[in-house]
Chain A
Amino acid sequence: MSIRATVLSQIQQIAARQKKTLAPLDDDLPLLKSGLDSLCIAILVAALDDALDLDPFAAGDVAIPVTLGDFIALYENAAG
């Protein structure tokens, strides 16, 4: 599965488990308007760390992503 597909699939799984209604997931969607709150986003980051073995935030100096597109790009760039 591509990184994009993994991110989107994890978002859907977490939303379902946390009983959140998702907005249509396009790249311009601000993450905090997606229906996920910051606790869900924290869970997403941990789940992606497990699924992809990637934690782009660990570098410390990353720009915090605002949109879904920024978020996916962060993981795609971290994968090299």
Chain B
Amino acid sequence: MRTPLAERRSLWALAAGRGLPVGRFVGDALGRVALAELSHGSSIEGSPERLRGANVLVASERQLPAVLALLQLDGLARRVLLCPPDLPAAYLPSVLAEAEVDFVLCDGTGPAAAGDFIACADHVTPALAWPGGQMQTELVLFTSGTTGRPKLVVHSLASLTGPLDDGMAIAPDAVWSTFYDVRRYGGLQILLRALLGGASMVLSQAGEAVEDFLQRAGEAGVTHISGTPSHWRRALMSGAAGRMRPDYVRLSGEVADQGILDQLALAYPRAQIAHAFASTEAGVAFDVRDGLAGFPAGLIETQSGQAQMRVVDGSLRIRSTRVASRYLGAAAGIADAEGFVDTGDMVELRDGRYFFVGRREGIINVGGAKVRPEEVEAVINRHPCVQMSRVRGRRSPIMGELVVAEIMLRPGHALEEEEILESCRRELADYKVPAMLRVVEALEIAASGKLVRPRA
């Protein structure tokens, strides 16, 4: 696929430019819209002119209303924020202020449903042709924040579509899908591949059983599909993986180990299996298509690709045109003076390949969801029986990693396991609650006064 001149044409112009046959669609479990409908209709209430040059936040529980809105807003609005459905409503006011949002688009569900909004639907109502525009719209993604409010990461259509020029041949009758929400970087990549490649897109749906999603993907003729290794393990465990027959299976968002790569090759013998490394800030660094875990050392410091990588003090750094331009409202930049983004992902060289060995800051990756140990420790440490605790990742063949806690008790106290877990469940998301608590005699403190954090 060639990268079109994204900086001068809108997402809609690029998508429509690949042709709008009646069979080309975007759909989820509840609805399906032929892209051609958008050439003579709109999903957004009222006049499009008030949105011209405006800052717009798009929020809905389902992805379909947001995708339709994005297709109409890119090029027209100055800034579009793709709000994830799980943003705590308490964070909304500061997001709206920081991004100077003029209008909220909402279908009546999700984090912004309680405030004023312009209605955006999951279907298209015939109307005058949508005006579109040539503005270089800022596309703002939310980091999958580990604690506190997510950061707002500013991309453009050009930075987001940079990774698409990877020589992958896509047939125009392809049907893409992803287990991800397309308002996350990994999912948005797949949506853009579908839209710019002339293909259709099957969206996942929160709360849908994995076998139902696989069934739906199979019936829609999905040819290209992505997910985290944990998504794929769940698909294989459902026994329903065979309900679709993809040509291309992609893994990202977590370390792909050899086990899951081999399992997918068995389950989908005619599919190409690729695993990619990307982050919301750094964009896609590379994808690996040789079926082996890790990545060839030759990818480091090669100048041929669009992304350059180096390893400094064991962590992977990336420089490319796909890097986000900045955080909204933050003084700190995303890249260093040379343009490299420090991913914080630690790598080790073994036999000519680099393997990911964990996060520098001890961040735990549970099935693609990030957990900062300090956040869990803070909850545990509030219990009167706890002197001190250390939370770390434990390798899991099912979820990549699990959260486990080591606890040093106060003298004379016994472990109140159930009470500690109950407070964690009350204050933390499910995947952050320690799977196991273990009492230890002591926890090592470094000369710096910080807890020594071993890598999982």
* Interface, chain A (partner B; CB < 8 A): 17, 30-32, 38-39, 41-43, 45-47, 50, 55, 57-67
Contact = CB atoms under 8 A, between A and B. Distances in A.
Those 9 A-B pairs whose CB atoms lie nearest each other, nearest first: A57-B397, A42-B398, A66-B239, A60-B259, A42-B399, A64-B236, A43-B435, A42-B396, A38-B234
A37 to B, nearest CB: 8
Contact of B210 (A32, A46, A59, A62): A32
A41 B367 CA distance: 12
B443 interface: no
Interface string B201-241: 00000000111000000000000000000100110111100
Contacts of B234: 32, 38
B237 A65 contact: yes
Contacts of A47: 436
Interface of B: 209-211, 230, 233-234, 236-239, 257-259, 262-263, 266, 366-367, 394, 396-399, 402, 404, 421, 430-431, 435-436
Contacts, number: 69
Contacts of B266: 63
Given A61-B262, A67-B239, 8 more contacts: A32-B210, A38-B230, A38-B398, A39-B399, A42-B396, A42-B435, A46-B396, A63-B266
A55 B234 CA distance: 18
A4 to B, nearest CB: 19
Nearest to B401: A42
B237 A45 contact: no
B80 to A, nearest CB: 33
A46 B402 contact: yes
10 contacts: A30-B238, A38-B233, A38-B234, A39-B367, A39-B431, A45-B398, A46-B402, A57-B397, A66-B239, A67-B239
Contacts of A43: 402, 435-436
B237 A63 contact: no
B136 to A, nearest CB: 41
Contacts of A61: 259, 262
Given A39-B431, A47-B436, A63 B259 contact: no
Contacts of A64: 233, 236-237, 263
A55 B397 contact: yes
A63 B233 contact: no
Contacts of A55: 397
Contact of B239 (A30, A38, A42): A30
Contacts of B233: 38, 64
**Chain A CB within 10 Å, residue with most, of B233, B238, B394, B398:** B398
A63 B263 contact: yes
Given A47-B436, A60-B257, A64-B263, A41 B237 contact: yes
Given A57-B259, A60-B257, A66 B237 contact: yes
Given A32-B237, A64-B263, A66-B238, A39 B430 contact: yes
Nearest to B235: A64
A32 B209 CA distance: 9
Given A63-B263, A64-B263, A46 B236 contact: no
Nearest to A58: B397
A72 to B, nearest CB: 15
**Chain B CB within 10 Å, residue with most, of A17, A59, A67:** A17
Nearest to B396: A42
B339 to A, nearest CB: 37
B435 A38 contact: no
A63 B262 CA distance: 10
A49 to B, nearest CB: 9
A66 B211 CA distance: 12
A46 B210 CA distance: 23
A35 to B, nearest CB: 13
Nearest to A43: B435
A17 B230 CA distance: 22
B329 to A, nearest CB: 33
A80 B435 CA distance: 28
B366 A39 contact: yes
A38 B367 contact: yes
Contacts of B259: 57, 59-62
Given A32-B237, A61-B259, A63-B263, A41 B398 contact: yes
